[in-house]
Amino acid sequence: MAKDVRCEVNSCKHWGAGNNCNASSIYVVARSSKPSHSDETDCKTFEPKV
């Protein structure tokens, strides 16, 4: 399991200083049947900052 999860989406409530993700778990889904590039996936862990 990865020790560090990097994220540049600073509008997410899980975003932390240094572009670190502070979520307790990460959920990523495929937008196509066999993704081969990151733009063919979505992070479902994202929650907007309030």
CA distance 15 to 44: 14
Q: Which two tokens stand for residue 30?
A: 């495929």
User: In 10 A of CB 15, how many CB atoms?
Assistant: 19
Q: Provide the whole-model pTM.
A: 0.80
Which of 10, 11, 8, 5 shows the shortest CA–CA distance to 27? Answer: 5
Tell me the pLDDT of the chain (50 aa) as tens digits: 678 999 999 999 999 999 999 999 999 999 999 999 999 999 999 999 98
Q: What is the largest CA-CA distance in the chain?
A: 34
User: What are the sequence ranges of the domains in the chain?
Assistant: 1-50
Tell me which residue has tokens 């670190």: 20
User: In 10 A of CB 5, how many CB atoms?
Assistant: 17
